Amino acid sequence: MLLSQKPNKRKESLDFLLTFLFSLLAAVLALRLITAYLFMPVQVVGNSMKQTLHHGDVLIVSRLNKPDRGEVVVIEKEDGELLIKRVVGVAGDRIWTQNGVLYRERQQGAIRVVEEVAEPYLSAYNSANTWQDTHNKTDVAPVTVPKDCVYVLGDNRRDSLDSRLYGCFSAISVLGVVPQFFIDHPKLLTFLK
């Protein structure tokens, strides 16, 4: 009787191993699909989004949403570097700054509207009287955002390399939108570091 049980134990062990490996492969594949098409974790590097986000914060980026004005996005530059910035202009918008204040001309129905962009996320550090980036540039000449592109700025304008330097980014380079929940709770996912 003992001899007949040995092959069964081997078969059971092999079945268990194959089931485990198949489950592991399925989990890895599912995770890859989720991060490729739905959501992906991203860690904030640098201070360009200070006071909104801080170096080391971990965010979940939604790949499902099309970026809109005011949203924080993750952009992949041509060299593979990731940037986390705020969209201040979409296709057709005209963007400029004057005396450190951001203005946007956009289409609203049948008319063009010029508006001073309310930016409550900017700290006093970035106030209109002191807004100056690392390149000593205080004002941005008017730029019209091309079709299928976005114009982005860091919330910490004094320490941000963004569309003022790189120009507009194509929608294809936008990897996703950071849901407001993660902006409101940036420390939530720091255990993923």
Q: Which residues are catalytic?
A: 48, 85
- The pair of structure tokens assigned to 125 is 């550090």
The burial of 142, by beta-carbon neighbours within 10 Å (0-12 exposed, 13-18 middle, 19 or more buried), is given as: exposed
C-beta separation of 108 from 102 below 8 A:
no
Per residue in 90-118, is it b (16+ CB within 10 Å) or e — as a string?
beebbbbbeebebbbbbeeeeeeeeeeee
Nearest to 99 by CA among 135, 49, 140: 140
What is d(CA 71, CA 67) in angstroms, rounded to the nearest whole number?
A: 7
What is d(CA 72, CA 74) in angstroms, rounded to the nearest whole number?
A: 7
C-beta separation of 149 from 170 below 8 A:
yes
C-beta separation of 87 from 67 below 8 A:
yes
